[in-house]
Structure 1
């Protein structure tokens, strides 16, 4: 049975953040030490990001001061520090809209599949919680069947969309008629804060908001339709790094631990982490052993957790610079949107006319653990 990812779609909120402007705001916050100011300048300047998006229109530097501002005082140029409850209330408000927008776009992209055909929903997020949750909202607002089965993968971090696709594929392998709607929404900017802590500053320089969605099914493709076959998945936890990447709930939002050791740890362990993914196909396994995997797999959907992470993956796997253009362009245009990001990279690859039918794609994403999730796909159409 061949299971495919179809209707791959993405969405972002309307408010754009320009990296240079955000850097000026964060660098000018009261209470920053000189060292923290230098870290802000370096982290923002070397991030590889030009723009990001946010659900918080009050974060823009232009326009009049807002009387009810909770995150940014425009008149004073000061970043505010709301509590976790307010941040999570904003998550519930804005995430619901983006879940529905992305899910509707995925259905619209595959006219042969209607809302009534969806048998399962899988939602993904690590930036907020509410119940009834986004799985319920999708079923209600998209008019899905009353008996649609719903699952939510929460608080897993940046790698979670790949386990979601794996679960969707397993559901389709168990039921040839299954149609699984997978939607990831991450509103990372709800948790931005000013701080002298280097990990917090780095996180502030990287994260943005976005949503990705797609339909996973074994139903046949329509004439001229482009899709990605889901060939295999792998999970590996590195022997080091448990304390270097973490995501915790604090009194003033969720707190990211993202040490500067993460890129080198990924670079050190990435070859071993993807070896199980390629083991089922001996030509690919042999190419990895020979250091020639870049020639055996045409496209690489690497989660751009930061510019240095992409650099270390490129070096460790001896990839061509062109193979990482989709990852670097996604980082440049949107920043790191946690679990949704790899779906943006896959969409960029799929819509590229140069990605020909039958070419292979290796996807990978990284998160707490330190965990590496990977997938092997094939372009169709």
Structure 2
């Protein structure tokens, strides 16, 4: 309120008029200045709007292209798999939802494969530098203009950090706010957007660069624990870069505006905390173990998450149906199923993390989505595999390449991650997005999709 008080004093001093019983002009002036000052005060206190200027998804070179057969051959060549587990890996790959060709680091395809720290660095450099350079080319923003940097990679945490590597390579300015997120799981891409949003609102008129990736070489499990082998089968090479802005003038050239972010953490529960955990097997070989409870944990986390998300995004009619159902079950003890709101009334496009075919099947069933809505997620899993925290960006790229994004559309990016976490980002399209108008990882092959990839729900769209 200091702004209001100082404004009033300044006006009175400038006009040199004083209130008398015969002069009402000062009262009018004071009232006008009070209203103007209050309006200015509240406008200045409102959080800055956050825009997604553009984003880029890294597409590896043809030298990284790998078939299922070649992957099995290299796995056999490493010699650590028993015959029983080799058959298990073959079976998992058949049922994974991945297509015949995906991408892995070149070092994994050499004979023998090079699985050392230097190659892990090279993999991350290739992915992140490739994504950043494409993004800077798309946006025309120079590296020196970036004030905030957020990098996330779950299992690969070298020293100096990955954010330090980006600062060094692109010679970012000395006062850049650089953050490195590790161990946050596959939902870290959405989590990083929420983090960048809060930083942008605290530092108006800034650019934030958000980078998401996972390192396949460093996360490769070289043992025979079946619960740890799934990660080797699903995860693939990939990464993304997104440029967020709190410059009001960027609204007119940005693709999207960030409407909501929401984070749910159910790690207080012991089963949820341990369902995805990095540990040593009986032979002291490190890997990520996936619990048999994972699907149930994800289901329960989703229920908690959408209970918070629904009031933010659903129309009134759906909110009323949900409340009535809740009263019937909790107050009147009726044995009726919990009502699942129709999120198709809130969102035009769904980008659900490509955790695997089983995860997507459960998501589709839980949210009662048609195949058309799940197509970006299933096709991303099919073509690129699970690229961890960057997968939701490959899915949004798919929607753009198909020409589906129209002005006013709302997009739901949602991802699960170890901990256990469920995170959401909701975007509003500010313009029609022309298909393949700029670089896009799908541009040269989008006409080949969708490919029938074991849908579970009859398509109605």
Tell me, yes or no, whether TM beats 0.5: yes
* Conserved 8 A contact 1:277-1:375: no
Secondary structure in 2 aligned to 1:280?
helix
Distance in 1 separating the partners of 2:280 and 2:385: 22
* Conserved 8 A contact 2:221-2:286: no
Change (3 A) 1:350 1:378: farther
Instruction: After TM superposition, give the deviation of residue 282 of structure 1 in Å.
Output: 4.9
Name 2:297's counterpart in structure 1.
Answer: 265
Name 1:321's counterpart in structure 2.
Answer: 371
Is 1:277 the counterpart of 2:326? The answer is: no
Structure ranking higher on relative contact order (CA contacts 8 Å, 6+ apart): 1
Instruction: After TM superposition, give the deviation of residue 28 of structure 1 in Å.
Output: 8.0
Change (3 A) 1:55 1:33: closer
- After superposition, residues 282-361 of structure 1 pair within 5 angstroms as 282-283=314-315, 286=319, 291-361=341-411
Distance in 2 separating the partners of 1:24 and 1:115: 42
Match of 1:47 among 72, 90, 96: 96
Distance in 1 separating the partners of 2:174 and 2:280: 34
Change (3 A) 1:249 1:124: farther
Distance in 2 separating the partners of 1:364 and 1:200: 24
Change (3 A) 1:41 1:206: same
Name 2:85's counterpart in structure 1.
Answer: 36
Per-residue Cα deviation, 1:195-240 (whole angstroms, up to 9, x for no partner): 43222221111011111001111223476x4522211122223444
Is 1:157 the counterpart of 2:207? The answer is: no
Name 2:127's counterpart in structure 1.
Answer: 98
Instruction: After TM superposition, give the deviation of residue 91 of structure 1 in Å.
Output: 2.0
- Unaligned segments of structure 1, at least 5 residues: 72-81
Name 1:245's counterpart in structure 2.
Answer: 276
Name 1:75's counterpart in structure 2.
Answer: none
Match of 2:56 among 1, 4, 9: 9
Instruction: After TM superposition, give the deviation of residue 268 of structure 1 in Å.
Output: 4.2
Normalized per residue, the structure richer in strand is 1
Q: How many residues align?
A: 358
Q: Structure 1 runs of 4+ off > 6 angstroms?
A: 249-253
Distance in 2 separating the partners of 1:103 and 1:43: 33
Name 1:369's counterpart in structure 2.
Answer: 419
Secondary structure in 2 aligned to 1:242?
helix
Per-residue Cα deviation, 1:88-136 (whole angstroms, up to 9, x for no partner): 332223313322221121121112x322221111111123122332222
Distance in 2 separating the partners of 1:183 and 1:341: 12
Is 1:175 the counterpart of 2:203? The answer is: yes
Instruction: After TM superposition, give the deviation of residue 354 of structure 1 in Å.
Output: 1.5
- Please, which moves more after superposition, 33-42 or 363-372? 33-42
Instruction: After TM superposition, give the deviation of residue 252 of structure 1 in Å.
Output: 7.9
* Conserved 8 A contact 1:188-1:338: no
* Conserved 8 A contact 2:75-2:81: no
* Conserved 8 A contact 1:165-1:182: yes
Distance in 1 separating the partners of 2:286 and 2:82: 23
Distance in 1 separating the partners of 2:263 and 2:285: 29
Instruction: After TM superposition, give the deviation of residue 164 of structure 1 in Å.
Output: 0.8
Distance in 1 separating the partners of 2:411 and 2:161: 32
Per-residue Cα deviation, 1:45-77 (whole angstroms, up to 9, x for no partner): 0111123222234426xxxx5xxx454xxxxxx
* Conserved 8 A contact 1:176-1:218: yes
Instruction: After TM superposition, give the deviation of residue 140 of structure 1 in Å.
Output: 2.9
Is 1:203 the counterpart of 2:231? The answer is: yes
Is 1:140 the counterpart of 2:189? The answer is: no
Instruction: After TM superposition, give the deviation of residue 26 of structure 1 in Å.
Output: 3.8
* Conserved 8 A contact 1:8-1:213: yes
Distance in 2 separating the partners of 1:330 and 1:282: 27
Name 1:74's counterpart in structure 2.
Answer: none
- Please, which moves more after superposition, 187-196 or 156-165? 187-196
Distance in 1 separating the partners of 2:92 and 2:236: 15
Instruction: After TM superposition, give the deviation of residue 34 of structure 1 in Å.
Output: 5.4
RMSD value, Cα: 2.7
Distance in 1 separating the partners of 2:261 and 2:406: 22
Change (3 A) 1:49 1:39: same
Change (3 A) 1:123 1:32: closer
Change (3 A) 1:133 1:96: farther
